[in-house]
Amino acid sequence: MRQLRKWASSALFALLSLSASSQLRHLADRRRILVGAAVNPVYLSEPAYAETLAREYNMVEAEDAMKWTALRPDANTFNFTEADKIVAFAAAHAMKVRGHTLVWARHNPEWLEKSLAQDRPRLLHEHIERTVEHFRGHVFAWDVVNEALDEHGKLRPSIWSTRPDYVEQAFRWAHEADPKALLFYNEAEAENLGEKSDALYAMAKDFKKRGIPIDGIGMQLHILDLKFDSKSVAANIARLAALGLQVHITELDVAIASEKDLGLQAEIYGQVANVCLSNPGCTAIQTWGFTDKYSWIGWYTNHTKGDALPFDRQYRPKPAYQALTEALRADN
Ligand code: XIL
């Protein structure tokens, strides 16, 4: 009897959480906005992971599987096997795929870090060409360059910056390899108005003026301190959109240190969604993962924070999830 009751209550719970969820993607379609999550192909074989992802999201992005470390075991090899699993999953569930990322200062294989500076432009051109061509027709938008600016908005020294025009060159090469793909510049901590976002804006404006093929700006939005300035972010989105650029929220997560902050976390999720929804130039809201079971935040904060995503470790929707659905449902 006790067993039966236990079974009945867990079946009821599953049913309730299913009807409470399965809304996000449906609501996003109605608002003509993309709602995405960064994913790891290893977990696609976990039924709850795959089911939640397919049911709730109309877009996916590779968390790590399209980075140089994953695609380029050595200078002569391209290994697309893992990344292709994401593309296949997306095709099977009518989801769009964002590509991330063709150029970054970090997460590069050792052989590349050790390569001669004079060889890197050629290596980069080849990497962009082969990768973008491989995913042509499957990846609708690329983060071409990631985090090229430092906190003052200056070009960050890296293996790439020995050639100072590498950012615009990367956009040209990506455009040649797939003229239909939307090309994004993705940046961290440039969401609010300020020195860094001013520099990013100036760069984007200059690119547009000179005909560098850029279509959008990715705002990462990793929120680690439970603070979000709606007005400032809205103004920043507005000025970028006025250049004719799209904005994607690309890596949203809201880290918390205690369960008591689940409510505040939800409020922030709602505010972010509202800011994006209130400007037609903001066309996608994506979180960095979707379940607290798998999130980089624990690792990144030395396990002082976590639980940053809309689903808990058992794939149950959290208040943050409800806040997202409420924002999508409201006509703002
Ligand atoms: C992170 C991944 O989540 C981790 O799995 C990996 O170990 C390091 O990279 N900004 C980015 C993302 O653009 O690519 C980073 O992803 C998080 C910060």
210 CA to centre of ligand 1 in angstroms = 31
Q: Is the pLDDT of residue 1 over 60?
A: no
Rounded CA-CA distance 215/59 in Å is: 18
pLDDT (average), residues 141-167: 97
The residues, ordered by sequence, that sit 6+ positions from 288 with a Cβ below 8 Å of its Cβ are 37, 38, 63, 220, 222, 251, 252, 253, 295, 296, 308, 309
Give the model's pLDDT for residue 22: 64
Rounded average pLDDT over 138-155 = 98
Per-residue confidence at 217, pLDDT binned at 50, 70, 90? Answer: very high
**pLDDT tens for residues 295-316?**
999 999 999 999 999 999 999 9
147 is catalytic: yes
143 lines ligand 1 (CB under 6 A): no
Distance 52 CA to ligand 1 centre (A): 22
For atom 13 of ligand 1, which residue has the closest CA?
146
Q: From the candidates 56, 61, 147, 168, which is the catalytic residue? A: 147
Average pLDDT over residues 3-20: 50
Counting from 1 in the atom list of ligand 1, the atom nearest the Cα of 222 is: 18
Q: What is the pLDDT of residues 90-122, one digit of tens each?
A: 999 999 999 999 999 999 999 999 999 999 999
Give CA–CA dist 172/161, Å, rounded.
Answer: 16
Q: Whose CA is nearest to atom 16 of ligand 1?
A: 63
How does residue 45 score in pLDDT terms, banded at 50, 70 and 90? very high
Provide the pLDDT for residue 9.
47
